Structure 1
Amino acid sequence: MRTIEICAGAGGQAIGLHMAGAEHVVLVENDRHACETLENNNRTHKLNWGEVICGDLEEFVEKQAESYRGQIDLVAGGVPCPPFSKAGKQLGGDDERDLFPAALKLVEIVRPTAVMLENVPGLLEPKFAAYRKELKARLLSLGYESEWAELQASDFGVSQLRPRAVLVALPKQYFPLFEWPEHSKEKPKSVGETLLDLMESKGWEGAANWASLANDVAPTIVGGSKKHGGPDLGPTRAKRKWHSMHVNGHRIGKNDEVPDKSFRGVLSKDGTIREGHENMPLLTLRMVARLQGFPDYWEFAGSKTHAYRQIGNAFPPPVAEAVGRQIKSVLSKINVDTDYFVEAAE
């Protein structure tokens, strides 16, 4: 399953698709820190991914896409979310950051067998019904049937409530073969269960007690805007949820800021809970990455702020893997020759 990965970020979707059997031919990303993350991990872990193109997607489509025509099974990516996010103005297609047109132009030029694009669930709201209809009509004009679904990360083993809107498109004659992945039958681990080994790694004696109190999955982790703000665990409502699990949500710790033997913690000796976020442990970058579904070996380039932004904006790898396996299953059933599809669709 040869892929072009667009808006690749730190590689959340790319990791998941890799686990599903994808061979990444090229990855396109415009953030230099994320590009460095992709390049470093590809080299260190010998993933055999293709070239990382660190630049503008529209420029890539205009100048380089034609060279991949008829060679790609899947075009995948997470186009920018701000045009559709409830945290923004929700300008949709009127937002200059909207890259769905560039993604569809890439599909038109490359003619992959399948398409997979993800975004925030706000895109599935009624106010964007006309926009979704337009995208669906455009894909249909190119020979693809498509469908949106809202997938919840916690349904696929991720210790986080993170709903995402996912679009899958296939040649219209083959789309009936596609089925959305089934939810995991196992309940996702809580924040405490997921992070206990990291929390106790420097000898904090209260780690197990803390884990018993952090007995729910995480709220949606957000990366924050490039224009303002440092790394923290989101808006006020999210911070309240973190505090209810006895996590200090006011900032993110560096990977060495793990509670040690001197840390007092949330429980006093008589078993009562100490109030105040200063008694709650911070989450480190590694902890947040694990809650996002990244493997522990994945390293993030740049400062703490740059690294956290990459983590917080990622598509959880286990969700991408689940969808990728369903797409690959269809491809294996139909055994589509991509050159044939290019000719048939023209």
Structure 2
Amino acid sequence: MQNTTLMNKSIELFCGTGGLALGLQNAGFQHTALYEWDKDSCDNIKANIAAGFDGISDWNVYQSDVRTVSYDGLTGKINMISGGPPCQPFSLGGKAQAYNDKRDMFPEAVRAVREVMPEVFIFENVKGLLRKSFSLYFSYIILQLTYPSIVKPQGMTWEEHRTLLEQHHTSNRHGDCEYNVVFRLLNAADYGVPQLRHRVVIVGFRKDVDAHWSFPNPTHSKEALLYSKWVTGDYWARHNMAMPMSNPLSKQAIKNIRSAVEECNAPLRPWQTTRDAIGDLPDPQSKEAAAFDNHIFRAGAKIYPGHSGSVLDEPSKTIKAGAHGVPGGENMLVLDNGDVRYYTVRESARIQTFPDDYHFVASWTESMRQIGNAVPVKLAEAVGSSVYAHLKEIDHAKRRYSNN
């Protein structure tokens, strides 16, 4: 087993248009290679590199099928592996075929961990991964990531391999290439993302890394937003709006919110709303809109039963990988006068917490697909910063010990 010494080098699989990579870069990791099969997504990252987007000039983006990627020579040189394996096999909106879906790339995530043996990995996926119907397969994924060196023999079914892994897990015959793995369903809104977006995040530390790590605590809350709206009125004042005359909360609800916020030892900030995220952008049909990149009006939005947009004074609905025809109208915005329109690309990017100077160079439809598939930058940064801080603390402790 190689020594645990802080290196901030990382590689990312299934990088898409770069949301997870940007957040982890902000957290302190430096990506030496990003792999993505989709050409448009790769082109978008490369366009931002060429445009001089800060901090990513050293990114090497490879348009490739991860099943063909060789990791020879990377063992001991890469601190972290990250990625978001394709979510369609587990998506609530897809066919949900899981292990029967050829797009299931978790086996490739496991292979990367096995061959590189990083100190830590971070993988993200949709909440559908935790559906009851997938519970056995999800437990299999976790076991594979815990014991990546126990490869499924050719001809063995995944159920038989899971049994083999369970037997190893309950034995005392453990080897070097093993990981302590935890997972949690996170709501991006709890970490400052102006969007209700639930995602499963899986984090594993190599067994020789004494991390004592747990997921970072939320920094924002629904209760704090309600308090700001209906107790202090700060929310409306911040947006130069009069507090609505009709308060939707009961007296008891107000009392409970007061207690939750005022008696909290570590006060949280309010959930960010759609208005917080995009309220300063001009109407995309106005002349002023031309000053903002990717802020172009798109006609055709309509409300009908089961197809409604996001309201301004709540976190946005989950931005999804689509444009027209997104099932619940999640890519639409409801204006103050009740009219609806599609989010512009820039507005969607803000909802996903991409910086304004991160450009989207494809068509509106393709850009919306890329943004909808992305990990919110702030959520990635929150998890990544916590992981990086623990690795840094461990490294400093080892250095103090070696110098004594």
2:375 pairs with 1:290: no
Deviation of residue 191 (structure 1)?
1.2
Task: Spell out the pairing of 1:293-308 with structure 2 (5 A cutoff).
Answer: 293-308=353-368
Task: Report the count of equivalent residues.
Answer: 287
Alignment of 1:8-27 (within 5 A): 8-27=15-34
Partner of 1:195: 278
Aligned equivalents of 1:236, 1:197: Cα separation in 2: 26
Give the percent of matched residue pairs that are identical in Structure 1 and Structure 2: 32
Deviations 1:161-218 (A, max 9, x none): 00000000002353651120111121122212321211357379xxxxxxxx721111
Cα distance in 2 for partners of 1:26, 1:217 equals 33
Say whether residues 1:111 and 2:117 are aligned partners: yes
Mapped partners of 2:366, 2:330: distance in 1:
21
User: What letter corresponds to residue 116 of structure 1 in structure 2?
Assistant: I
Query: Structure 1 residue 232 and structure 2 residue 232: aligned?
Result: no
Q: Counterpart of 2:115 in 1: which secondary structure?
A: helix
Name the SS for the 1:10 alignment partner. Answer: coil
SS at match of 2:354: coil
Larger radius of gyration: 2
1:199 is paired with a residue whose SS is coil
Q: Does 1:139 align with 2:150?
A: no
Aligned partners of 1:91 and 1:71: how far apart in 2? 36
Q: Using the alignment, how far apart are the partners of 2:96 and 2:341 within structure 1? A: 35
In 2, Cα distance between equivalents of 1:285 and 1:296: 11
What residue is the counterpart of 1:52 in the other structure?
61
- Cα distance in 1 for partners of 2:100, 2:38 equals 23
State the alpha-carbon separation in 1 of the partners of residues 128 and 15 from structure 2: 20
Distance in 2 between the 1:37 and 1:96 partners?
Answer: 26
Find out whether 1:317 has 2:400 as its counterpart.
no
Q: Could you list the per-position Cα deviations for residues 4-57 of structure 1 after superposition, in whole angstroms to 9, with x for gaps in the alignment?
A: 011001100001001000100100011111111111212322423331011111
What is residue 79 of structure 1 aligned with on the other side?
Answer: 85
TM-score after normalising by structure 2: 0.67
2:135 alignment partner, one of 110, 129, 132: 129
**Larger RCO, structure (CA 8 Å, separation 6 or more):** 1
Distance change in 2, residues 1:194/1:139 (3 Å): closer
Q: Secondary structure at the match of 2:281?
A: helix
Offset from partner CA, 1:303-338 (integer Å, 9 cap, x none): 1111111111100010000110111122112229xx
Q: CA deviation at 1:300?
A: 1.4
Structure 1 CA distance for aligned equivalents of residues 125 and 382 of structure 2? 16
Moved more, 22-31 or 122-131: 122-131
Q: Measure the CA separation in 2 of the matches of 1:334 and 1:87.
A: 41
- Work out the CA distance in 2 between the residues paired with 1:315 and 1:289: 11
Q: CA deviation at 1:232?
A: 3.1
Query: Any idea what SS the aligned residue of 1:149 has?
Result: strand
Aligned partners of 2:365 and 2:356: how far apart in 1?
19
Distance of 2:342 and 2:90 partners within structure 1: 30
Structure-2 residue corresponding to 1:276: none
Q: What runs of 5+ residues in structure 1 fail to find an aligned partner?
A: 205-212, 225-230, 247-265, 268-272, 274-278, 337-346
Please state whether the residue corresponding to 1:96 is helix, strand or coil: coil
Query: In structure 1, what is the Cα distance between the partners aligned to 2:277 and 2:146?
Result: 43
Conservation of the 8 A alpha-carbon contact between 1:222 and 1:233: no
